Amino acid sequence: MFINNIVREFYEVISGQRVLVLVHFDLDAICSGKILQSLFHADHILYTLCPVLTHTDLHTTVQNHKEQVGCIILLNCGGALDLVEFLELPDNMTVFVADTHRPLHVCNIYSEHQKLRQ
C-alpha cells in the first residue's frame, strides 16, 4: 500500500521501536540513509543501519535482526521482490519500501497482510 499521510502512517509507526534500515549500494540510497540517520538522531529513534548489495544480503540481514526490531525500512532495495514471502517476516513486522528501481512487485502494493508500505 502507498503512504498517504507521512506522520500517521510512517512516523507514528516507527516512533518508540527499534528500526532496521537496509541501504542499497547506490548514491541515492546512501544519501537517503544519511538523511534518515540524521532525522532519527534528532528524534531519538533507535535504529540499525546495514548496507545490502544482493538479495542474499537482504535476506541474511533481515533474518539476523528481525527479533530485535519492530519495523524495517528498505532504501532502493527489495521493491521487485515479493517481500512477505522472501523475508519470512513475523506477523507484527511492518516494512517500508522506498525503491526507485522498477518494476515494483505487485504483492508489495496489494498485500493482504498490509505489512508493506511504499
Grid cell 541501504 in the structure block, residue: 23
Task: Specify if 46 maps to a domain.
Answer: yes
In a domain, residue 30? The reply is yes
Domain membership flag for residue 99: yes
Q: Looking at the domain assignment, is residue 72 inside a domain?
A: yes
The arithmetic mean of pLDDT across residues 54-59, rounded, is 91
CATH number at residue 84: 3.90.1640.30
Identify the pLDDT of residue 4.
74
Which residues contact residue 50 at a Cβ distance below 8 angstroms, ignoring those fewer than 6 apart? Answer: 20, 21, 22, 23, 61, 65
Residue 38 lies in a domain: yes
pLDDT, position 118: 47
pLDDT higher than 50, residue 29: yes
Q: How far apart are CA 80 and CA 15, in angstroms?
A: 27
Asked if the structure places residue 1 within a domain, the reply is: no
Q: Which domain holds residue 31?
A: 6-117
pLDDT at 41: 95
Domain count, the chain: 1
Which pLDDT score is estimated for 9? 81
Q: Is the pTM of this model over 0.85?
A: no
Which tens digits make up the pLDDT trace of 64-107? 998 999 899 999 988 767 777 778 887 788 888 887 766 555 56
